Amino acid sequence: MITVNPEPISMNKEIDGVIVIDKPVNITSAKVVAIIKKLFGAGKVGHAGTLDPEATGVLLCCINKATKLSRFFLTGSKKYEAVLHLGVETDTQDATGKIISTSDELNFTEKTIRAVFRQFEGTIEQVPPAFSALKHKGIPLYKLARKGKFVRKSSRHVFISYNKILKINIPFISFEACCSSGTYIRTLCSDIGKELGCGGHLKKLRRIESSEFTINEAVNLSELEQLFLTGAINDRIISMSDALRNMPEHIADEFLTKKIKHGTILTTKEFMPRNTDNLKNFIKIVDTKNNLVAVLKFKKDSNRYNYCCVFN
């Protein structure tokens, strides 16, 4: 585990950007944020998508001004590597919970297993687990569940692009899943176990991609302080403009940049977006040095832009 110096390391300038952390097991996402905040001496740090303490892998951390960009990463798709344990059902749907049922009937063919996995591809309905950070009357469900008050949320639609089985070694099945934001992999494991008739739970989880940021870009906590001390950490910070990877871009001249920083109403007289057919499109405005100036949203009905966030 990283040992953070009592005083933050002195920086020549405030860092604004995104860093991809490979979160280790048995640490909360909030703790990772606290470590980065202290190490960087940052005023603000936030993550874009919680990982359970027992899960590992990609955790996007936004530093200082980049915290305004978290909203654009929260809805991105995710990829996970997971291990399903068949024949054991727990109240939390993962290995941390109490066992509520077991089954020795695990004589499944590979064909049967693959067929059931395919049933959980595409748009499916999923009931969020009772042990989750979702809230009921302002209280996280997991806090209620720990007191024996299990609140059942309504099912909701999630999208699973694919479930790719990597290895079958009964009672364990290793697989990779690509899914929409808000999908619970432990609920997926529980539902697959129920469909097979034996029950099951999530034994292990690793997030390998989040909003197109991959595990190959990630730095683990044991490396983080050393990279900071040597100055190499700058190479791992993704600038705010580069972090918005698939967002349409417009390069602003000095005149347009001044208009934006003064909050001037902008219309298509200033510039035209590349695609006026997609009303959901956000547009990132960068200056000639690739600094992020603002994120705008085009309103086709009025031919003007709404300000989402502006950076001075």
Q: Are 87 and 49 in contact (CB under 8 A)?
A: no
CB count in 10 Å sphere of residue 260: 21
* Cα 68 from chain centre: 15
pLDDT at 136: 45
Q: Dump pLDDT digits (tens) for 36-67.
A: 999 888 999 999 988 999 999 999 999 999 99
Q: Dump pLDDT digits (tens) for 228-241.
A: 888 888 889 999 99
CA separation for the pair 179, 157 (Å, rounded): 11
What number does CATH give the domain 17-75+212-242? 3.30.2350.10
CA separation for the pair 207, 221 (Å, rounded): 16
250 SS3 class: strand
Question: Is the N-terminal amide bond of 24 cis, ω within 30° of 0?
Answer: no
286-300 burial by CB neighbour count: b if 16+ within 10 A, else e? bbeeeebbbbbebee
* Cα 37 from chain centre: 19
H/E run at residue 38: helix 29-40
Mean pLDDT of 165-173: 98
- Averaged confidence pLDDT in the chain: 88
- Could you tell me the pLDDT band of residue 279, with boundaries at 50, 70 and 90? very low
pLDDT at 151: 57
7 or 123, which is more confident: 123
Mean pLDDT of 59-81: 95
CA separation for the pair 170, 150 (Å, rounded): 31
Say whether pLDDT at 140 is over 80.
Answer: no
Mean pLDDT of 19-41: 94
CA separation for the pair 164, 172 (Å, rounded): 14
| Fold (topology level) of 247-310 | 2.30.130
CA separation for the pair 96, 109 (Å, rounded): 28
CA separation for the pair 225, 2 (Å, rounded): 7
C-alpha dihedral over 195, 76, 210, 23, to 10 degrees? -90
Q: Are 60 and 49 in contact (CB under 8 A)?
A: yes
Q: Do domains 17-75+212-242 and 247-310 have the same CATH topology?
A: no
Q: Dump pLDDT digits (tens) for 94-128.
A: 999 999 999 999 999 999 999 999 999 999 999 87
Task: Say what percent of the chain tops pLDDT 90.
Answer: 68
CA separation for the pair 77, 83 (Å, rounded): 20
Mean pLDDT of 214-220: 95
Interaxial angle between packed helices 110-119 and 185-196, expressed in degrees from 0 to 180 and rounded to the nearest 10: 130
pLDDT at 277: 53
User: In this structure, what DSSP letter does residue 94 have?
Assistant: B
Rounded to 5°, angle at Cα 58 from 54 and 64: 110
Domain 78-210 has CATH 3.40.50.1950: no
- Could you tell me the pLDDT band of residue 158, with boundaries at 50, 70 and 90? very high
CA separation for the pair 26, 112 (Å, rounded): 34
H/E run at residue 169: strand 156-169
Query: 0.95 cut: is pTM over it?
Result: no
Can you give the residue ranges of every domain in the chain?
17-75+212-242, 78-210, 247-310
- Could you tell me the pLDDT band of residue 9, with boundaries at 50, 70 and 90? very low
- Could you tell me the pLDDT band of residue 71, with boundaries at 50, 70 and 90? very high
Among the residue ranges 80-94, 138-152, 271-285, the one predicted with the least confidence is 138-152
Checking DSSP bridges between strand 17-23 and strand 219-220, what pairing results, if any? parallel
205 or 229, which is more confident: 205
**Catalytic residue ranges:** 52
Q: Are 258 and 293 in contact (CB under 8 A)?
A: no
CA separation for the pair 173, 163 (Å, rounded): 11
